[in-house]
């Protein structure tokens, strides 16, 4: 029986909760996985703790009204750090918002979870990118797992693909479409829209934020590239080591000209082994129509692995979404359950 604690209970946290409610019996039968949610701590939705377990469907109902703190019979009002340190969970699920400049407050949550000997699963890329090696060393020292599949391309299994299915290969390069918003914009520009029109549509559909800087200037993809460089190639590089350019300089004329050459503009995140080192970049590249990445349109993500034994392997899938990202946490939790 795995005891779970949610830190943050927004879209992704509730996505995982819905999966757990729906698949409880199936997970038990097929994967010998049984769980109890003992704590939830969220800023506005509230906090509740019961060492003997909380009803997840009830928590989802209460979250909708920001009334988790009214959960009957539970200890309420604990903030994130108190919950992490004091609760009896085996696994902390950290799904608060991401800050890709400082990693906070999630970095403190991560450290507290690992320091207190609890496994940590997360989709939060800020602290994962910024403090990758330190957090992995802390997890190893404490004898617990730190898993973060959903920090890159949501539930589409890129990190597990590397560690399980491609084990034994040397990965010399990964390159891919790591940001759905920019890919949606570039795809729409191919349909004849200007950058401004395509961005506006992305905002109307909820793909892009009111302030789209993190996506269109490549910062979101940059954090993912740093995680890939560190986790797939063991590189010790920071965000400052990555050559980054966003898509704001790509005009409709550039898109049309690429089409005439049989190419497409894509914002490509790339990590390449370079002798003993590793080079990383995020920049718009004109990819040939024969490249599998060229066929990936809209908000979909994709990553090509260049390997020594298998050649090139491309995985295509969702890079965001409530259930799609919630699933990334489920696979990490099942991995821990199978240890």
124 binds ligand NAP (CB under 6 A): yes
| Signed CA dihedral, 26, 29, 33, 37: sign only | positive
Toward ligand NAP, which CB reaches closer, 181 or 270?
181
Q: How many CA atoms lie within 13 A of 204 on its CB side?
A: 7
Integer angstrom CA distances of residue 47 from 87, 140, 280: 12, 29, 40
Residues binding ligand NAP: number (CB under 6 A): 25
C-alpha span between 29 and 52 (Å, rounded): 22
Fill in the per-residue mask, 103 to 122: x = in contact with ligand NAP (CB under 6 A), - = not in contact: --x-----------------
Q: Which of 3, 4, 5, 8 binds ligand NAP (CB under 6 A)?
A: 8
- 300 touching ligand NAP, by CB under 6 A: no
Residues 142-161 within binding reach of ligand NAP (CB under 6 A): 150, 154
Nearer to ligand NAP, 10 or 51 (CB): 10
Beta carbons within 8 Å of 126's beta carbon, 6+ residues apart: 98, 99, 100, 101, 102, 103, 104, 106, 107, 223
Phi, psi for residue 38 in degrees, rounded to 5: -100, -20
Angle at which helices 11-31 and 56-64 cross, to 10°: 170
326 binds ligand NAP (CB under 6 A): no
Among 320, 323, 329, 333, binds ligand NAP (CB under 6 A): 320
Using the rule CB under 6 A, is 98 a contact of ligand NAP?
yes
Element (H, E) at 99: none
Contact range with ligand NAP by CB under 6 A, out of 42-50, 169-177, 202-210, 306-314:
42-50
Single out the residue of 93, 127, 317 nearest to residue 230, CA to CA.
Answer: 127
Q: Is 325 in the site for ligand NAP (CB under 6 A)?
A: yes
Q: What are phi and psi of 39, to 5 degrees?
A: -155, 150
Helix/strand/coil for 308: coil
Sole binder of ligand NAP in the list 1, 44, 309, 339 (CB under 6 A): 44
Task: Check if 263 is active-site.
Answer: no
- Least separation in angstroms between residue 225's CB and ligand NAP is 15
Q: Tell me which residues touch ligand NAP (CB under 6 A).
A: 7-13, 41-45, 80, 95-98, 105, 123-124, 150, 154, 320-321, 325
Residues serving a catalytic function are 224
């Amino acid at each position: 029986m795995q005891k779970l604690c949610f830190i943050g209970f927004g879209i992704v946290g509730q996505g995982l909760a819905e999966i757990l409610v729906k698949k409880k019996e199936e997970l038990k039968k097929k994967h010998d996985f049984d769980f109890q949610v003992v704590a939830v701590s969220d800023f506005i939705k509230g906090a509740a703790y019961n060492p003997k377990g909380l009803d997840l469907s009830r928590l989802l109902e209460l979250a909708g009204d920001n009334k988790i703190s009214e959960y009957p019979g539970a200890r309420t009002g604990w903030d994130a750090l108190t919950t992490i340190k004091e609760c009896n969970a085996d696994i902390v699920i950290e799904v608060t918002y991401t800050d890709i400049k400082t990693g906070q407050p999630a970095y403190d949550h991560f450290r507290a979870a690992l320091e207190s000997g609890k496994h940590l699963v997360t989709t939060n890329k800020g602290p994962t990118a910024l403090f990758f090696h330190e957090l992995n060393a802390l997890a190893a020292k404490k004898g617990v797992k730190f898993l973060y599949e959903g920090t890159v391309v949501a539930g589409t299994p890129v990190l597990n693909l590397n560690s399980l299915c491609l084990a034994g290969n040397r990965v010399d390069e990964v390159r891919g479409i790591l940001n759905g918003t920019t890919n949606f914009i570039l795809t729409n520009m191919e349909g004849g829209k200007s950058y401004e029109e395509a961005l506006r549509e992305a905002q109307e559909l909820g793909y892009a934020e009111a302030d789209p800087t993190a996506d269109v200037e490549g910062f979101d993809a940059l954090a993912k590239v740093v995680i890939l460089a560190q986790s797939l190639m063991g590189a010790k590089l920071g965000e400052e080591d990555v050559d980054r350019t966003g898509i704001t300089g790509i005009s409709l004329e550039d898109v049309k000209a690429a089409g005439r050459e049989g190419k497409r503009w894509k914002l490509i995140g790339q990590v390449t082994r370079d002798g003993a080192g590793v080079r990383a970049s995020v920049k718009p590249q004109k990819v040939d129509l024969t490249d599998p990445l060229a066929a990936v349109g809209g908000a979909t993500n994709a990553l090509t692995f260049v390997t020594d034994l298998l050649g090139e392997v491309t995985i295509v899938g969702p890079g965001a979404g409530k259930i799609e990202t919630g699933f990334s946490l489920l696979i990490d939790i099942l991995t821990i359950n199978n240890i």
